[in-house]
Structure 1
Amino acid sequence: MRLLHTSDWHLGQALHNYDRAHEHERFLEWLLDTIEEQAVDALLVAGDIFDNANPSAASQRQFYRFLQQAKQRAPQLNIVIIAGNHDSPGRLEAPRPLLEGMKITIVGHVSRLPDGTIDHTQLLVPLVRPDGSVGAWCLAVPFLRPGDVPRVESDGDPYMDGVALLYRQVLDGALGRREDGQAIIALGHCHMTGGEVSADSERRIVVGGAEALSARMFDAPVAYAALGHLHKAQRVAGCEHVRYCGSPIPMSFAEVDYAHQVLCIDLNGDSVAAIREIRVPRSVELLRIPRHPGTIDEALAALHALDIPPLPEIHRHAYLEVRVRLDGPEPGLRAKVEAALEGKPVRLAKIDTSTARRVAEHAEPIPVDDLDTLQPDEIFKRLYQARYGSEVSPDQLAAFTELLLAADRQPS
């Protein structure tokens, strides 16, 4: 069998208030072509289909249109989708009865039997070959919240131990059903120990004090673990068969250098024969100028030198982050940046400013008890010194005092 592993689509996401529907549409069109060209037998989507738990009607139409088109172009395709921490389990599972007849399985949450025990059969999905025989079993485990995992009495973390036990129980169910030559595939949305996190994009998963799970959960007999949550494609703990495929498009400027991809997995009986990385073409560029924060003059010079061919469609214009290192306040910075970009086919998404010193990193915090005794201008002077490493100028102090007086004159 041939599997395709993807995750973290985040349909409906906006980048600094810019809608990204065009980029997602181009990705989904590319994915349909790839499924057909690669003769894929099963598509595994490891969570975070949507960017938030209440997705727009447009992003939901985009998702269900993709499912419809995928089944039209590849009628024998198995599709298995799990919920991520951004998804609403109930909303994602709502159309499940309609989709199951099309070999589309969506698992949003962990179901329980009338006696309160976990229904492991709902998390175990057969992957069927074109001839109707079972080629593999998929452990389709969505993002797990504390109420989803079995209770475990242990000296360790009860949540992590509960997650490991749940996977073990579902694995035992697969071992009891599989026949010779059938592989076992794990599908999960979680943060594994050693995983590299994107600084600006990924919502930290911290449950019960635990943040990362051990890759030992996916030791043999799991042939391949298809993971979602981390946006950078990577192996986990050096394990070739435990992989994050990463997000298909960069979710923030911190991800501009990521190799966005899907993973193609060829099975030979109950083992993996090959894993191939297939790069996702980037339909809209993200630019960071200068590459490293520079002075205002350096940044403006780089913007004036920016040479991009004209693009008539605004939704194809590159997103731009301007990176400036400041030695002091610069109230007219945005106007200067916008003037330098006049007529260029880019969308100014962010002006990232940095200084020689950061309050949070270098400055001694002002004790809470001192706030009642210090005058506002003294607090301002201390914060300015901490941020810029220099004394506030008389003109700036006068402007601050004028603001205070204006605020006092406002009617309460």
Structure 2
Amino acid sequence: MSVHFLHTSDWHLGQFFYNHSRHYEHEQFLAWLIQQIKEKQPHALLIAGDIFDVINPSSQAQKQLYQFLADAHDAAPQMQTLMIAGNHDSGYRIEQVEPLLEKYHAKAVGVIRWNDDKSLNTERLILPIYDAQKNIVAWCVALPFLRSAEITGLNDQTSTSQSAIEYLHRTLISEAQKRKTPEQALIVMSHAHMQGAETSDSERPIIIGNEEALSTALFDGAIDYVALGHLHKPQKVGQAHIRYSGSPIPLSFSEIHYKHQVVDVRIDPQNPEQPYTFDAIAIPRSINLIAIRGSLDEVFAQLQALPHGEIEEIEQREYVDIEYSTTQPPALNLRQQFEDALPKNRYRLVKISRQYLPNEQQQDQAFSISLEPPTPEKLFSSLWQKQGYDNDDSVLKDFMSLVEQAQHALDDETSA
């Protein structure tokens, strides 16, 4: 028996991008995914966490998910949808609507549960995948995002976060292997940061170095596929069958060049010559992200060269990020100048940043290093120049006057 499923993750429904709703972009992705499901008729759809962007998603975002589940069930009535909670999700929230999920052949695993004797409750974490005739074709170990407070201190094998993670994987994989037969596949779905994987800007606030990154050694050699979520770049980790599907839309400007995709997976455990095949299905991008870089003159030239043609709906307009370089203080109305240079009613200017370039005088100073302690006057002059301002004797005199007043006040306080 072979199993056929689609692997996706990190939808971040409800996300606001620089205060702009991504609802339209998510609608386009979900409509496209429904079409893929209708055409391919897989046994299962695996959603590997971060379904929502925040723990308390808006009613609009929740409606978007549940409408998708209803539409997916209509498109492929025999398909199961298995999803886990990511670090952006509330595990309890996604499990609360279990009766609704069952109606659409969907299952959500949000939290790790423990038995009264402090042993791991494996029943909700090992899920069967059926074919149209209700034969089990695979087993899926479903591991939501593992928070240290929820998995440590339960028994002797969970004294630390690392030992708890190892215990969870070892226990669940061992139990799943007991259930599977040779013709059934074994899948692990996990929302985690794996060692050696490439991250993006939008993930860095939740990733501290590599301390919490997991090793692929956790995954037993008998596992046929590891469906990962958490990192937004589609990639394999070490081996071809350990993969991040990545996010369906770019969640930051650092992800402009990501090849967003859904992974189409087919596994046949009884075919040793080709036990699995992977097909990365490219997701069409509904709204472009445009990064403009260069000097002010270069930026204005690039803005004016952008394609014209109005886009009536604001939420369908393209995003623009500008990073300009200059040695001079920017004009007070610089943003308005950028807006005026953009073709009308087609773009949304969401980010402006300045890259400082040292002037010639500062470049000369960069080659000489002084070991003398800096004086207040030198520190002020250095900071003043770094802001792009020229030295001004009157400003320096005002600053030194303030320093003198502060010194007098300090002397008076010391002598009192």
Indicate the TM-score class for this superposition, using the shorter chain for normalisation: 0.7 to 0.9
In 2 relative to 1, CA 384–81 (structure 1 residues): closer, same or farther, beyond 3 Å?
A: farther
In structure 2, the partner of 1:256 is 256
Rounded Cα–Cα distance in structure 1 between residues aligned with 2:88 and 2:79? 26
Would the alpha carbon gap of residues 45 and 144 (structure 1) be closer, same or farther in structure 2, given more than 3 Å must change? same
> Does the CA contact (< 8 Å) of 2:228 and 2:243 recur in 1?
yes
Q: Which moved more, 1:338-347 or 1:11-20?
A: 338-347
Amino acid aligned to 1:9: W
Q: Deviations over 1:74-94 (max 9, x none)?
A: 111111100000111111111
Larger Rg: 2
Deviation at 1:261, TM superposition (A): 0.3
CA distance in 2, matches of 1:246, 1:202: 15
Q: Give unmatched runs, 5+ long, in structure 1.
A: 363-369, 405-412
Secondary structure of 1:160's aligned partner: helix
- Please state whether the residue corresponding to 1:196 is helix, strand or coil: coil
- Residue of structure 2 aligned with 1:184, choices 183, 186, 189: 186
- Number of positions where the alignment pairs a residue of Structure 1 with one of Structure 2: 378
Structure 2 counterpart SS, 1:348: strand
State the shift of 1:381 in Å.
4.1
**Aligned partners of 1:158 and 1:120: how far apart in 2?**
20
Following the alignment from structure 1 to structure 2, what is the Cα–Cα distance between the partners of residues 319 and 3?
A: 33
SS at match of 1:164: helix
Q: In the alignment, residue 277 of structure 2 is paired with which amino acid? A: A
Matched residue, 2:352: 351
Corresponding position of 1:66: 68
Alpha-carbon distance, 1:39 to partner: 1.7
> Whole-Å Cα distance in 2 between the matches of residues 397 and 137 of structure 1?
73
TM-score when scaled to structure 1?
0.85
Distance 1:184 1:63 in 2: 27
SS at match of 1:231: coil
Give structure 2 stretches of 5+ with no counterpart: 359-365, 367-373, 403-416
The answer to whether the 8 Å contact 1:150/1:166 transfers is: no
CA distance in 2, matches of 1:51, 1:384: 41
Amino acid at match of 1:273: Y
Return the TM-score normalized by structure 2. 0.84
Q: Is the 8 A contact 1:202 1:230 kept in 2?
A: no
Q: CA deviation at 1:391?
A: 6.0
Q: Give SS of 1:113's match.
A: coil
What are the superposed Cα offsets for residues 165-210 of structure 1, whole Å, 9 maximum, x if unpaired?
A: 2011111111111122011100000000001000244542459x83
The whole-number CA distance in structure 2 between the counterparts of 1:381 and 1:143 is: 50
- TM-fit CA distance, 1:275: 0.6
C-alpha deviations, 1:329-349, integer Å up to 9, x for none?
203321211111251511111
Q: Distance in 2 between matches of 1:79 and 1:171?
A: 21
CA 1:268/1:68 → structure 2, altered by over 3 Å: closer, same or farther?
A: same
**Which residue pairs with 1:47 in the alignment?**
49
**Structure 1 residue 270, shift from structure 2 partner:** 6.0
**Which deviates further from its counterpart, 308-317 or 211-220?**
308-317
Per the TM alignment, residue 305 of structure 1 is displaced from its structure 2 partner at its CA by 1.6
Amino acid at match of 2:229: G
Q: Which residue of 2 aligns with 1:408?
A: none
- The Cα offsets for residues 101-160 of structure 1, whole Å up to 9 and x where unpaired, read as 542110111012223322111100000111100000000000001133355879x99322
In the alignment, the residues of structure 2 paired with residue 396 and residue 32 of structure 1 have an alpha-carbon distance, to the nearest angstrom, of 68
Residue deviations 1:337-372 (CA, integer Å, cap 9, x gap): 111125151111111221136xxxx9xxxxxxx9xx
